[in-house]
Amino acid sequence: MSKISFDDFLKLDIRVGEIIRVEDFEGLKTKAYKVWVDFGSSIGIKKSSAQICELYNKENLVGKNVLAVINFEKKQIKNFMSEVLILGVYSDAGVVLITPDKKVKKGDKLG
């Protein structure tokens, strides 16, 4: 396992956002969704490609709060620009999203 400094960790901008739209991402080798996440008025709506289809369907994702890294470089995936990385844990059943367990505001920062 590679070690990083605390200063390296602080470079990550991890925020809470609410999923507001989900579409199937056609044409990929691995099943994925196109996801739109609202991080509040100061950050706005950002897009992400997410391979979370094993445990989540589109309808159940809308309205869900998630944690995401919002300061990665954008990544072009086919005809879609992924702007943030939604965080999850790899489990035997599939990716489990990391979500706050209490009510928080859109855009709140991981601290």
Give the global pTM. 0.94
Domain map of the chain by residue range?
Answer: 11-97
Classify 99 as helix, strand or coil: coil
Q: Are strands 80-82 and 75-77 parallel, antiparallel or unpaired?
A: antiparallel
| Pairing status of strand 75-77 against strand 94-97 | unpaired
**Segments of the chain with pLDDT less than 50:** none
Looking at the domain covering 11-97, what would its CATH class be? mainly beta
Element (H, E) at 48: strand 45-50
* pLDDT for 111: 82
Task: Report how far residue 72's alpha carbon sits from residue 63's, in angstroms, rounded to the nearest whole number.
Answer: 23
Q: What is the pLDDT of residues 54-84, one digit of tens each?
A: 999 999 999 999 999 999 999 999 999 999 9
Calculate Rg over the CA atoms of the chain.
14
pLDDT for position 21: 98
